[in-house]
Amino acid sequence: MAISSTHSTVTMPAAERPYPSILEFLDRRFPRIGNCCWRRRISDGKVLDAGGTPITADTAYLPHMRLLYFREVAQERLIPFTEKILFLDDHLLVACKPHFLPVIPGGGYVNECLLNRLRASTGNTDLVPLHRIDRETAGIVMFSVNRATRGLYSRLFADGLIEKSYQALAECSHYPDKRDWTVENRVVKGNPWFRMMIVPGQPNSCSKIRLTDISGAIGRFDLFPVTGKTHQLRIHMGGLGFRILNDRYYPDLQPEQPDDYENPLRLIAKTVRFRDPLNGKNMEFCSERELPWQ
């Protein structure tokens, strides 16, 4: 069994009285884990309050209270691809992630994630990702190395001061009348829980999309996310009628199947650009990964 050496956090949301039990909340929040597993974890002292004290079956539900738990996976799949560190100093680590490797523990993955691989290879348990990309997507991910300066780099993302570009190959059966699009809409969590959806309302997502070439029924695109909603680029491309090759979620959910390592999602987080908040230098990092284009 794979057990995470660091805790994950979940916050109990506001709820109407009578409050559910903590066990009921965890069972609803993580349906794939199961009631029996959560009951066992609680009885074994593996679910803690924010102060690190194990809760019990009688601990009361308290809105906005944080719980700490350690991910467990009975049989973790190994991802047969490696990451590469592109930059490392006393404050920042920039890595290039392969397809299929999650950034942080989740689902069936504990140690097989970019964060824990990098913590193991660098010996730095204080590493924290400053942003994330999908497990299916390859490319650039930035990490904070130093707690003292973490807030400075986090604010770059919060204030929209990071310029990011992606590259994608997508279905393109006809030559469109235009080559550039700006897509703005409201993206929220959908059903099932791991998909996002577009709803009416004030836009909270924006992407700039450029078609750069067409070969047969395949188009090559440069993508520039202005915001950073989950699955944003995949939703926006699908909404334009350009399904990213091998996308199993958008625009239509495909049947669940094992990862096809020969046919990854054709999407790469290609570059990040920003002004370093510590020394004022213009920084740019580029993934060496390339999409197969003929």
- The structure tokens listed for 91 are 């404050």
DSSP string, 124-158: -TT-EESS---TT-EEEEEEE--GGGHHHHHHHHH
CATH architecture of structural domain 2-73 = Roll (3.10)
Q: Considering only the C-alpha atoms of the chain, give the largest distance between any 2 of them, rounded to a whole number of Å.
A: 63
Asked if 162 contacts 168 with a C-beta cutoff of 8 angstroms, the reply is no
**Which H or E element spans position 116?**
helix 114-122
d(CA 111, CA 104): 9
Domain range 84-161, CATH architecture: 2-Layer Sandwich (3.30)
What span, in angstroms and rounded, lies between the C-alpha atoms of 237 and 247? 11
- The pairing of strands 163-171 and 180-189 is unpaired
Q: Is 24 helix (H, G, I), strand (E, B) or coil?
A: helix
DSSP state of 244: B
Question: Which pLDDT band holds residue 99 (cuts at 50, 70, 90)?
Answer: very high
pLDDT in tens, 131-177: 999 999 999 999 999 999 999 999 999 999 999 999 999 999 777 88
Alpha carbon distance 90, 75 (integer Å): 35
pLDDT at 114: 97
Within 8 A by CB and 6+ apart from 25, the residues are 12, 61
What's the pLDDT tens digit per position in 14-26? 998 999 999 999 9
State how far the alpha carbon of 179 is from the alpha carbons of 174, 211, 219, 241, in Å. Answer: 12, 5, 11, 13
What confidence score (pLDDT) does residue 6 get?
Answer: 77
- Report pLDDT for 75: 83
Residues 128 and 27 sit within 8 Å (Cβ to Cβ): no
Instruction: Give me the residue spans of the domains in the chain.
Output: 2-73, 84-161, 165-268
Give the number of other Cβ atoms within 10 Å of residue 32's Cβ: 8
Give the three-state DSSP class for 207. strand
Q: Please tell me the pTM assigned to this model.
A: 0.85
CATH 3.30.2350.10, domain 165-268, yes or no? yes
State the pLDDT at residue 263. 97
Q: Return the structure tokens found at 6.
A: 């660091």
Beta-bridge mates of residue 185 = 205
pLDDT tens profile 102-139: 999 887 888 899 999 999 999 999 999 999 999 999 99
* Overall residue count recorded for the chain in this entry: 294
Q: Is the peptide bond before 200 cis (omega within 30 degrees of 0)?
A: no
Calculate the CA 12 to chain-centre distance. 21
For 281, other C-beta atoms within 10 Å of its C-beta total 8
Question: Same CATH topology for 2-73 and 84-161?
Answer: no
Is the pLDDT at 203 greater than 90? The verdict is yes
54 confidence band (pLDDT: 50, 70, 90): very high
pLDDT value at residue 71: 82
For the stretch 232-272, pLDDT in tens is 999 999 999 999 999 999 999 999 999 999 999 999 999 99
Reading the block at residue 2, the tokens are 């794979």
